């Protein structure tokens, strides 16, 4: 793996939910759009209704979902050269534009856009395009580090811990849970989409707090996997600081 300077990497994880608690609460054009999309979703249970599928799957699609949490992590070199991973989360129950703007401001103010590389697990397929699409929905300018519309896959410079494990085998996928188990990294399985939806819509702020913890766990685990890819020691708990 390329030994890119750790200071130039921002680890990212987003958590998403369906845009509304139920399909019935979506406006009519979007409800009709979802009912049309259901025909193209590969779902194992043919008995499931469009409404039930909405609660489980809608959060996976930027057109029918929204972001409720963005967790980031970056390396900081303390005096004496000791590494520290600083973790920060932007989250909101009802203000997606605000958390997107906070994320955009972090990218613009703290990092050199030309050298910055975002890193996520399956980020090229999910996190990064999802962020861009939701920014477009809210007319938020897409930061230079994310604006790769029209680029070929190999022209996108971001890092993806799932893609890095593929070694060119595009049909191969691996979960973050599997990688953490393989490398001996402390990690709890991520809840399924319907569980995240339930936490958010049924438990309010308490549910969002639980989602934030999952998001922070994911972004820390991604950073730990990246360290193992570089054959460097895993971070100790005292080196991980939530700011």
Domain boundaries along the sequence of the chain? 6-242
Predicted pLDDT of residue 44:
61
Q: pTM of the predicted model, to two decimals? A: 0.93
Q: How far apart are the first and last CA of the chain?
A: 29
The four Cα atoms 217, 223, 228, 229 give a dihedral, to 10 degrees, of 130
CB 54 within 8 A of CB 32: no
pLDDT digit string, tens, across residues 121-140: 999 999 999 999 999 999 99
C-alpha Rg value of the chain to the nearest Å: 18
pLDDT in tens, the chain (243 residues): 557 789 899 999 999 999 999 999 999 999 999 999 888 777 666 688 889 889 889 999 999 999 999 999 999 988 777 899 999 999 999 999 999 999 999 998 888 878 899 999 999 999 999 999 999 999 999 998 898 877 777 778 899 999 999 998 888 899 999 999 999 999 988 887 778 999 999 998 999 999 999 999 999 999 999 999 999 999 999 999 999
* Homologous superfamily of domain range 6-242: Ribonuclease H-like superfamily/Ribonuclease H (3.30.420.10)
CB 107 within 8 A of CB 116: yes
Strands 65-77 and 9-18 turn out to be antiparallel
């Amino acid at each position: 793996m390329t030994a890119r300077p750790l200071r130039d990497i921002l680890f990212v994880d987003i958590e998403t939910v369906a845009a509304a608690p139920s399909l019935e609460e979506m406006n009519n054009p979007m409800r009709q759009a979802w009912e049309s999309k259901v025909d193209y979703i590969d779902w194992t249970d043919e008995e499931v209704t469009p409404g039930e599928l909405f609660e489980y799957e809608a959060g996976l699609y930027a057109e029918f979902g929204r972001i409720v949490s963005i967790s980031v992590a970056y390396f900081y070199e303390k005096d004496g050269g000791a590494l520290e991973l600083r973790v920060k989360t932007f989250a909101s129950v009802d203000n997606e534009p605000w958390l997107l703007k906070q994320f955009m401001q972090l990218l613009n103010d703290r990092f050199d856009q030309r050298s910055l590389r975002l890193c996520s697990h399956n980020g090229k397929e999910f996190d990064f395009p999802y962020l861009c699409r939701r920014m477009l929905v809210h007319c938020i300018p897409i930061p230079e580090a994310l604006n790769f519309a029209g680029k070929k896959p190999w022209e996108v410079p971001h890092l993806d811990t799932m893609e890095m494990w593929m070694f060119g085998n595009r049909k191969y996928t691996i979960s973050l849970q599997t990688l953490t188990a393989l490398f001996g990294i402390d990690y709890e399985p991520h809840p399924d989409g319907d569980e995240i939806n339930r936490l958010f819509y049924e438990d309010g702020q308490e549910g969002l707090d639980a989602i934030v913890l999952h998001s922070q766990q994911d972004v820390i685990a991604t950073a730990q996997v990246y360290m193992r890819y570089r054959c460097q020691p895993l971070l100790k708990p005292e080196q991980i600081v939530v700011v």
